[in-house]
């Protein structure tokens, strides 16, 4: 199993000899011996690493919470600029790209539409097109596999920084495949090249690749958290805690107004596959309900092949509203640079989840149209699959 950056360094870098290179990377951008892609590219005799770009959570992954912006700075080891693309600037300016011949992309994505790394990628692609700079994706595996897709496809009018193009919530693609899709089907039209992984199969989860797992962001510290994230990220659009500020983010969900056993019994009645809901208490150290004891449940995934995180999350929201109708509420804007639309709507990619849960609908009704949306999406994306 070899990632795109490994293949680039061993077989492709000579094609770029003498060129000035920018690199979009973060703390999980590692290759041989856990060494950072930036260091390996800087030490490569034929390349001129001239600029680094960092996504949400910072190029070093140090920003714990979401929606915490990063500053640009000068890299102390290599004495080159590090440009933050999560803050006042999310699309590189012409000045940032001035003098570059190519921008390389080496971020570890997690296979979920609302994770911002691929949307940062598309903004860089647009900027590269405008500046006449080549864009190369050094692909990495989808850590939760490339077979299963879930949830609705993003609806027109609900585009945001957590979803710029119409893909499902759990999209089953790699960053390289999304780059092909938006470039060819949605008109980005930059000079694009994707260097795929070698040896990755779509059915493989990250722990089956032999690659080291480095948390792609602080609140996805393990493959377990990545497994539940496609659905449990929806909790961000409510007044429930999604477990930020604990050691099990997105696996824990709760609030001070919830009674654990009551919530657990309500969830058990849905007979959901591949998961056990353990009633528990927890106390977040920051973000929602910081310093307060929350009642809730922890999700224990017992069979990830049958576990459907989006369906489970819809059940969690339905159950929380049912057992605490006077306290459960939807979060209000702003959220991820969206100041008007409800956060749950931009997360879901439409208003249907919020409206149907408020009307008392369950997971089957909420997800009734998703299968057909995914079928149409699979027809669209088929020509651009690398694996």
Per the rule left: phi > 0, alpha: psi between -120 and 50, beta: everything else, 35 is beta
Residue 331 has pLDDT above 90, yes or no: yes
> Please, what CATH class does the domain formed by 4-215 belong to?
alpha beta
Q: Which helix (H) or strand (E) holds 255?
A: strand 252-255
Categorize the per-residue pLDDT at 116 as very low, low, confident or very high, splitting at 50, 70 and 90. very high
- The span from the CA of 355 to the CA of 363, in Å, is 13
Categorize the per-residue pLDDT at 27 as very low, low, confident or very high, splitting at 50, 70 and 90. very high
Work out the percent of the chain whose per-residue pLDDT is above 90: 94
pLDDT, tens digit, 9 for 90 and up, residues 79-90: 999 999 999 999
> Please, what CATH class does the domain formed by 223-368 belong to?
alpha beta
Tokens of 37: 């892609």
Q: Judge whether 4-215 and 223-368 match in fold.
A: no
Per the rule left: phi > 0, alpha: psi between -120 and 50, beta: everything else, 284 is beta
Domain limits, the chain: 4-215, 223-368
Rounded to the nearest angstrom, the gap between the alpha carbon of residue 298 and the centroid of all alpha carbons in its chain is 21
Tokens of 2: 């070899």
What pLDDT is stored for residue 41 in this prediction? 94
pLDDT, tens digit, 9 for 90 and up, residues 157-195: 999 999 999 999 999 999 999 999 999 999 999 999 999
Q: Which helix (H) or strand (E) holds 296?
A: strand 294-301
pLDDT, tens digit, 9 for 90 and up, residues 55-81: 999 898 787 777 788 889 899 888 999
């Amino acid at each position: 199993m070899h990632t795109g950056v490994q293949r680039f360094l061993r077989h492709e870098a000579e094609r770029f000899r003498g060129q000035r290179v920018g690199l979009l990377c973060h703390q999980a951008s590692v290759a041989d011996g856990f060494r950072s892609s930036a260091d390996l590219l800087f030490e490569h005799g034929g390349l001129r690493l001239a600029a680094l770009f960092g996504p949400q959570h910072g190029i070093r992954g140090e920003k714990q919470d979401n929606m915490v912006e990063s500053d640009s700075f000068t890299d102390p080891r290599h004495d080159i600029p590090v440009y933050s693309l999560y803050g006042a600037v999310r699309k590189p300016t012409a000045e940032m790209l001035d003098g570059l011949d190519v921008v390389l992309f080496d971020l570890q994505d997690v296979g979920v539409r609302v994770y911002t790394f691929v949307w940062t990628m598309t903004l860089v692609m647009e900027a590269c097109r405008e500046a006449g700079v080549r864009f190369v994706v050094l692909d990495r595996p989808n850590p939760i596999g490339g077979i299963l897709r879930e949830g609705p496809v993003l609806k027109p009018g609900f585009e945001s920084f957590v979803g710029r193009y119409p893909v499902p919530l759990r999209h089953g693609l790699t960053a390289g495949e999304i780059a092909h899709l938006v470039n060819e089907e949605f008109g980005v039209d930059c000079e694009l090249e994707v260097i795929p992984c070698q040896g990755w199969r779509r059915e493989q989860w990250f722990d089956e690749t032999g690659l080291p797992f480095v948390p792609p962001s602080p609140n996805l510290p393990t493959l377990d958290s990545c497994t539940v994230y496609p659905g449990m990220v929806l909790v961000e659009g409510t007044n429930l805690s999604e477990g930020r500020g604990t050691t099990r983010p997105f696996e824990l969900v709760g609030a001070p107004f919830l009674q654990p056993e009551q919530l657990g019994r309500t969830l058990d009645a849905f007979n959901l596959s591949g998961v056990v809901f353990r009633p528990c208490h927890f106390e977040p150290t920051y973000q929602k309900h910081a310093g307060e004891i929350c009642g809730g449940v922890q999700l224990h995934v017992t069979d990830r092949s049958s576990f459907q995180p989006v369906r489970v999350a819809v059940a969690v929201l339905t159950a929380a509203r049912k057992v605490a109708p006077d306290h459960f509420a939807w979060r209000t804007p702003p959220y991820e640079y969206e100041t008007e639309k409800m956060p749950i709507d931009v997360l879901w990619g439409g208003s249907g989840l919020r409206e149907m849960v408020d009307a008392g609908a369950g997971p089957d009704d909420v997800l009734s149209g998703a299968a057909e949306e995914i079928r149409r999406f699979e027809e669209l994306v088929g020509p651009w699959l690398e694996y």
